[in-house]
Structure 1
């Protein structure tokens, strides 16, 4: 990494929680200089404007979430049912640190990413699409292995899981009550066990 690349990465990492907590649009250049300890000139020497910082920070936050979530689908879990259950467990186990850092970066950016910030909107859309595709691939893998109901629409179930998780996070973050996210996760587990699992216990 060059010195410029290191500085750029430093700015992104230092402001990741700030943008996610305060908002991608509400965060000011002064907020960025305060949290990084750098001058405005140094910020502008590495980024064209605040929007570029916001976009790079969103990509960083979304990438971290994706990496952590993807561990649920690793070879550590021998079958697809276990992978899907681990995916649900990830959200149940990690909701507190996620909330302390402002909540789900995808949901936070989605609520801001309207026509006033189309580049951010496009990035959020891409993140959700990638998330749905990843879950769909895991479900399809289970269908091919004979573990999951082959008549189930993988993409439809993947989309439903994302909707339930994001809705649960939204209600829990707004009310401060964990029960809403847990209700959503419990519903996903029932869907996995009763609708997707080809050999329900």
Structure 2
């Protein structure tokens, strides 16, 4: 990685939490300059626009979050245990470094659904990709005989994603873990019930 690429990556990493917490509209160039210690011209030298930087930051945040879960999932042998990584890990999402500022999919979707088509598209693709990964985990489990063959793969994947996202939203808004823990406990039961 050359100096220019390192600077570009440094800008992305230093502004990642800022965009995730404050959103696209709430993040000004003053904020970006304060976070990076760079001038507006230097930032523009590495990104065509604030939109360009926001998209790169979203991709970085999703990659960080995906890697966080994939690392934990890869340590589990059984498909049911792999699916259980989501609810067991998310019980403490407020303290997870990968979720600093909240879920980037949820935060971006909420802000960009009617205001920023490019970010909305990125968030939509991230949701679809996540759902597809969960479907793959379930299908592998069925093939291995670890998950009941009668399991509706798409239905379960959709419910997992929706329960997680809505629980995270409620916890971020209220600052309470009670409802999140109830929802993740329910999700754990659902996942254990598909085991063969």
Instruction: Tell me the TM-score normalized by structure 2.
Output: 0.95
SS at match of 1:115: coil
1:19-30 matches, within 5 Å, as 19-30=19-30
SS at match of 1:23: helix
Q: Distance in 2 between matches of 1:99 and 1:145?
A: 31
Query: How many residue pairs get matched?
Result: 196
1:155-194 matches, within 5 Å, as 155-194=154-193
How much is the aligned-residue C-alpha RMSD, in angstroms? 1.5
Instruction: Tell me the TM-score normalized by structure 1.
Output: 0.92
Q: Distance in 1 between matches of 2:190 and 2:11?
A: 42
Once the two structures are superposed, residues 14-40 of structure 1 have per-residue CA deviations (whole angstroms, 9 ceiling, x without a partner) of: 001111111122101111011111001
Equivalent position of 1:197 in the other structure: 195
Once the two structures are superposed, residues 33-56 of structure 1 have per-residue CA deviations (whole angstroms, 9 ceiling, x without a partner) of: 111110011011111111111111
Deviation at 1:99, TM superposition (A): 9.3
Deviates more, 1:118-127 or 1:83-92: 83-92
Query: Are 1:72 and 1:90, in contact at CA under 8 Å, matched by a contact in 2?
Result: no
Once the two structures are superposed, residues 141-178 of structure 1 have per-residue CA deviations (whole angstroms, 9 ceiling, x without a partner) of: 11111111111111210110000001111111100101
Structure with more relative contact order (C-alpha pairs < 8 Å, separation 6 or more): 2
Deviates more, 1:112-121 or 1:57-66: 112-121
